[in-house]
Amino acid sequence: MRNFVQTGDTLTFISPDPVTPGQGVVMNALFGVATSAGGANDPFEAAVVGVFELPKAAGAIEAGAKVYWKADTANVTTTASGNKLIGAATQDAADAATTVRVRLNGTAA
């Protein structure tokens, strides 16, 4: 195919704030996990598909549950209202857990 550009597993993001590898990042409708560091307003790479361990809000999360990115606290929640759908939990995470494994949906939400 002459119009194929890339698989799209990793995309170039730009953030108004500095980022570190492993950090959840939002660029308009896209969510990803930074794979490289970037300064404020500098381009960096972010994975938009795959399974990642991300910080989570209080509350238990069941495997298979839809999960959302809560931008103001930079963590994962099951609360849809006001948050961006990013994928689904791949394992149970207890209320006391500080992280949850998430399969990113790879689509704009």
The H or E element containing residue 100 is strand 99-105
pLDDT band, residue 108 (cuts 50/70/90): low
In tens, the pLDDT along 2-56 reads 898 888 899 999 999 999 999 999 998 899 999 999 999 999 999 999 999 999 9
Q: Where are the beta strands (DSSP E) in 6-91?
A: 10-14, 24-27, 30-34, 43-47, 49-55, 66-70, 75-77, 84-89
Residue 37 inside a domain? The answer is: yes
Residue 43 inside a domain? The answer is: yes
Residue 23 inside a domain? The answer is: yes
Whole-prediction pTM: 0.91
Which tokens go with 75? 């963590």
Domain residues for 23?
Answer: 10-105
Looking at residue 1, its pLDDT comes to 75
Residue 101 inside a domain? The answer is: yes
